[in-house]
Structure 1
């Protein structure tokens, strides 16, 4: 007798890097709470690559076919198209799981969030990160005490990063690319989730190459009542991607280093990783699998831990404020 697959039907719009990562997370997980119902990308070459790598995954003719086949639509296309696909999914009664940033047009994003209700979330994997869970545990246990300041630093040898070369056309364009949208947004979400609403922005962004994305930014703002200093630069480091999120308080200092490694500062000034800390390559898949569990709960209307549309909108407003400075 043929059995019915009762796992959540997840459709994927966008067959680039993030679409492929999500497919690997679904297909590489025993007992995954979702199944891939359909994949579509407007680029034939991208779909051909997916066909070669994942021959059993259904490929469909257009975005509408993805929506029709799915209970939840994962939007992994370039940012300027996010709201078009998300709106189509929500209008059809589907839930939507959108890549960050939610959009690049703040007014349009506000209107979408107001209309979408609770049927959507945004893929900020820090919501499911083991390293972030360690930070939250330390804060709750009093290891920081009263938070006094937060410092966020991101640096890149070049932008886009080498593994993003195939998407450089939009990733290095001022209209929808740049490291503030792609990377800084994650750390703004982390600050919002652990410390409180983002406000009080003052910023400067430099665009030395006409038509291209930013090459440096400096900003101050607050997360809740905690002062935040943010810096980001391209070309001032030999590392492809280096970042730190450092929270100092009257009882101690903690940080997240290079996306995944939670650390506490010792009395001698050295940082010591959490006992179970793992590098980003290993931690990423754990986070994505936990994200998928949240997607299933969200679509069923159950409480979930994913980044809400409201949180993502708040992050987007700060991001676009930085880039407009």
Structure 2
């Protein structure tokens, strides 16, 4: 029987709970949760009520004594502090996106840590997505011809989304929140993985109609490697709580990822057809989280990663640069 890697978690919000439950559901000889800490007494009380068998740490520092990996699921401004403490303690790091909200601070962090930063991965689930795997397979088959352009469309009935309202105090503030950081960054990461390094062109737009609140609209043109890339996002233009499209247009057809998970291909009649076995995000998410945990195990053991690895700190920082430039308008 293999020795499980030991996972500690900072933060018991939506993302912390999701990964915690995925780790609990995984084979215990693969990963074990050694502790969780959240600065909120309410969050810790909820953990004690919902999952009393999960060890509750007395502090973030206490998590570092009995773990191989620290998963950071706290608000963005705290990420680098926790990550530095984990690296200094010899742990690998799995960090929520965005990597940081301060570009200069993140750049200094990466320079300070040098090669140690390779022990950091950032939680962009598209690195383990079944839908993205299908998109890559279609592209690899070659019958679509040369890819001509990429586009990203994201929309929300309201921001934050209904399941995020407990975090409204930071998710709807310009300092750490907004949908470009929370959602747009995922698709920018995917564009960079499929196309190449991102370059933001002049003339992008960002709207802040409500004083003190996060953005309500964004539009931009970029390139991903040599590919033109368009980005459009808005709050209040769709009745859906969360709607998104990532479209790849090629010489002989188009394919897309719809609503996070479902790969679709445009047929000869102009109708989008789902890939065989395509499933909505609610069903796909547990499988993706399991894949993320398995890749994280390889990072924890310093093993060779897959051909589509977890997002590196460098990749996440490249996305962060674009996002923070967009948010400045």
> What is the deviation of 1:6?
2.4
The alignment partner of 2:201 has SS state of strand
Structure 1 runs not aligned, ≥5 long: none
Partner of 1:17: 14
1:313 equivalent to 2:317? Answer yes
Alpha carbons 1:148, 1:250 under 8 Å: kept? yes
> What is the deviation of 1:117?
2.8
> What is the deviation of 1:105?
0.5
Q: Distance in 2 between matches of 1:209 and 1:238?
A: 20
Partner of 2:60: 63
| Mean CA deviation greater in 231-240 or 299-308 | 299-308
> What is the deviation of 1:93?
1.0
1:255 equivalent to 2:259? Answer no
> What is the deviation of 1:54?
1.0
| Mean CA deviation greater in 39-48 or 60-69 | 60-69
Partner of 2:193: 193
Task: Count residues with an aligned counterpart.
Answer: 322
Q: How does 1:137-156 map to 2 (within 5 A)?
A: 137-156=137-156
> What is the deviation of 1:98?
0.1
> What is the deviation of 1:31?
5.0
Structure 2 runs not aligned, ≥5 long: none
Q: Distance in 1 between matches of 2:278 and 2:2?
A: 36
Q: Distance in 2 between matches of 1:40 and 1:5?
A: 27
Q: How does 1:25-64 map to 2 (within 5 A)?
A: 25-31=22-28, 33-64=30-61
Alpha carbons 1:33, 1:292 under 8 Å: kept? no
Q: Distance in 1 between matches of 2:200 and 2:242?
A: 28
1:86 equivalent to 2:83? Answer yes
1:231 equivalent to 2:232? Answer yes
1:169 equivalent to 2:166? Answer no
Aligned CA-pair RMSD: 1.3
The alignment partner of 1:199 has SS state of strand
Q: TM-score, normalised on structure 2?
A: 0.95
Q: Distance in 2 between matches of 1:117 and 1:237?
A: 39
Partner of 2:135: 135
Deviations 1:30-89 (A, max 9, x none): 356211111000000001111111111100111001122211100000001001100110
